Amino acid sequence: MSIPRGFALITGASAGIGETFARQLAQAGHPLVLCARRRDRLEALAADLSQKVRCEIVVADLEAPDSAERLAEELERRGIEVGYLVNNAGYGVPGEFLSKDWQVHQRSLQLMLTGVCELSWRLLPGMRQRGFGRVINVASLAGHLPGSAGHTLYAAIKSFLIKFSQSLALENETHGVKVMALCPGFTYSEFHDVTGTRGQVSKMPSYMWMTAEDVVRDGLRAIERGEIVHINGRLNRMIARLFAWLPSGLALRLIRKQSKNFRKL
């Protein structure tokens, strides 16, 4: 893992993969900025980790259109320089596209797509100026597979994050800044409880699952190796390669058949 230079800012830090990033980065000595909506959870996590490193919390609703600008302004007000950005906050919107009001989709796009781009745009100049930075965009194995029915925007957003990360990595590699899309598959966290798919995914075999601890540890090592896109787990990498090789029509038919196992319609 990199030598700590500046704070590590983690969005969606109150649970799951985000909380695990916070714990592992703190263990490595990185001072933290923990950002999420749930103040009580952030305060509890900060109280725990402040025994190891300095912890700042920023309670923010990253679904708000001006949230990235306000977050960057708050960091500047506190004199915080970010050397490690983990764009982790996100969720899936269950059901078919037309089953939800547009405002629901708009909020998810702001949180996981527009906000990620803007926050990266606002923090990258400082990283480049200081000659050091790490940006991890938490994408998904879903971004490597054909789109499925249900959670309509989720795979599309994650696919965007993969391409976005590739471009950013190439643009910033001569400035001491590494950028990576982290692509976990099924991970033990609150994600499936939030999306209402816990019943479906709990029927999937245990070998399909990884712990958040393994996902994060694997990802932190991968970015230091210079990987730009990292898929967690050998099985998930095999799945991605299989779908890349398959004719698109056949791949889509397989997803159509299997999507009921992990998507809520």
**Which residues participate in catalysis according to the annotation?**
154
Residues 218 and 183: their CA atoms lie apart, in Å, by 11
Are the CB atoms for 35 and 60 separated by under 8 Å? yes
Are the CB atoms for 88 and 18 separated by under 8 Å? yes
CB atoms within 10 A of CB 71: 22
In the three-class reduction of DSSP (H, G, I as helix; E, B as strand; rest coil), residue 183 is classed as strand
Residues 177 and 131: their CA atoms lie apart, in Å, by 7
Work out the widest C-alpha separation in the chain, in whole angstroms: 54
Cβ-count burial 158-196 (b if 16+ within 10 Å, e if not) = bbbbbebbeebbeebeebebbbbbbbbbbbebebbebbe
CB atoms within 10 A of CB 197: 19
